[in-house]
Structure 1
């Protein structure tokens, strides 16, 4: 049986993989950068492989380091889950949920009482964040984030798709009558998906590099306001676009269904995300079962 490397070496390795350099890893572990470097050398000697390419002051993980990091993360998740079990925290009623602000306000908040009806003693702690949190340092049990299902290191489940509508102000709409007209205007998109317009333009038969200019926004609400103000053409969630088109503050110059037949892989959505070990905690498993059973396309008052 292969002898396992020392735990300190694995901790140092995992810290370096997450932080990107020895100094930041050392700060997290409360040791010197030299101590981290020694642990990495020890691990490389024990495994007889090179884990990091040293290029001056920079380090880059090798392919083997990237492969190993997935298993080390899974191992530490298992350690954490085991500690929770022996301290009875697996039977706790608190659940820490981190949610995309848009999903929280548009979908989740009005439905949370349904989960409380199932589990009256549940202690829900809800925070919002645009990007995926660090489950360990942020003490998050589950997250709900917007994206394309790219979180391969975690358990994920699509809750609802977020199809987009090409929208602009009424003033700009008079200058857009065909897909190629989009390339003459500023394109607005969320910073979390810098290739979203590229996917859209390819779907419309255009070259992405042909766009005049782009502006990135941190969140959907700000991008929506920018589109209404007329600074560019935005990709607006259907649920918002329907409201704005009805109010006359936005126009869909190419029609509401211009992107209706996009490839499924190119349509973003909101995903439930959690480390696989977290589902073994009773209250977390119950929350996951509830949230994946909800029909998020139905208005909350309709059920």
Structure 2
């Protein structure tokens, strides 16, 4: 018991609680912790007795977190984040300027790599290690300090800041474009979807007044490069990032059947972007803090140029 009269529960009970909240069941938590479901149940019971509150409503084999559990989970997560960060900081003595990044592949090649020399000039001793996983990393398990992720800023329990929007242009091969008379034809056309943003096309269709399209002719890819390749090969109609689209339109490889500005005026919330994402505690590392300051100070917005040709 602490001097303020609060009795702290055993760490194992908090670990079990944390695992249950993450996995949604005693069995899922048990698999994660490599113990039996009964052992997890006993730890949760011990935690409830220590706190004198009910954390889960038992409904047969289903458990539902109570309001107290939801509140506690936030602080337990923060506590474990602090534990991990403390271990990382101690383990990194002598490597304090090592920075493990996870960067969206498109942002890495189109934006970051060409500018990294500016950051290295600011922190010459930095040991920068870049991963390019498309999915949001598990900052602890994947040993990632900071990420630049593509999306809509939807991540919880982390700090996220928009760096630059990623506006799209509806593009396809010339052969496919010849079959389109207006946006309403998209409902019957092969559309290339991003796995991590299955609602992007519905947002685009709604903006174009072509809502109500079916799920037929759907092709799913994992990243921007695959989306572009699918459009170039004639496999389907893609939502191509503006920088790539301009190059392909000018070369005649792709066509923007509804014009370059068909998606202009979309609500900002419907336009994806690249975000700086990290747990707040990671800013305590000198190198990570310096990288974040540099990234946020850069102007990442790039326009393809004035006077785009009307034929596109």
TM-score, normalised relative to structure 2:
0.87
Q: Which residue of 1 aligns with 2:149?
A: 145
Q: Which residue of 1 aligns with 2:55?
A: 50
Secondary structure in 1 aligned to 2:196? coil
The answer for unaligned runs of 5 or more in structure 2 is: 304-312
Q: Which residue of 2 aligns with 1:253?
A: 257
Q: Which residue of 1 aligns with 2:292?
A: 288
Q: Which residue of 2 aligns with 1:78?
A: 82
Secondary structure in 2 aligned to 1:192? helix
Q: CA RMSD in A?
A: 2.3
Shift of 1:111: 1.5
The structure-2 alpha-carbon separation of the partners of 1:152 and 1:24, relative to structure 1 and needing over 3 Å to count, comes to: closer
TM-score, normalised relative to structure 1:
0.90
Q: Which residue of 1 aligns with 2:175?
A: 171
For these two proteins, the number of residue pairs brought into alignment is 298
The answer for unaligned runs of 5 or more in structure 1 is: none
- Aligned counterparts of 1:90 and 1:265: Cα–Cα separation in 2: 42
Q: Which residue of 1 aligns with 2:97?
A: 93
Shift of 1:29: 2.9
The structure-2 alpha-carbon separation of the partners of 1:263 and 1:89, relative to structure 1 and needing over 3 Å to count, comes to: farther
Q: Which residue of 2 aligns with 1:267?
A: 271
Q: Which residue of 2 aligns with 1:11?
A: 15
Q: Does 1:125 align with 2:122?
A: no
Of residues 199, 222, 225, the one that matches 1:221 is: 225
Shift of 1:2: 3.8
Q: Which residue of 1 aligns with 2:210?
A: 206
The structure-2 alpha-carbon separation of the partners of 1:233 and 1:95, relative to structure 1 and needing over 3 Å to count, comes to: same
Secondary structure in 2 aligned to 1:183? helix
Contact 1:91 1:283 in 2 (8 A): no
Contact 2:186 2:213 in 1 (8 A): no
The structure-2 alpha-carbon separation of the partners of 1:162 and 1:298, relative to structure 1 and needing over 3 Å to count, comes to: closer
The structure-2 alpha-carbon separation of the partners of 1:14 and 1:90, relative to structure 1 and needing over 3 Å to count, comes to: farther
Contact 1:177 1:254 in 2 (8 A): no
- Aligned counterparts of 1:49 and 1:285: Cα–Cα separation in 2: 40
Shift of 1:61: 4.2
Q: Which residue of 2 aligns with 1:187?
A: 191
Secondary structure in 2 aligned to 1:138? coil
The structure-2 alpha-carbon separation of the partners of 1:55 and 1:253, relative to structure 1 and needing over 3 Å to count, comes to: farther
The structure-2 alpha-carbon separation of the partners of 1:91 and 1:252, relative to structure 1 and needing over 3 Å to count, comes to: same
Shift of 1:80: 2.8
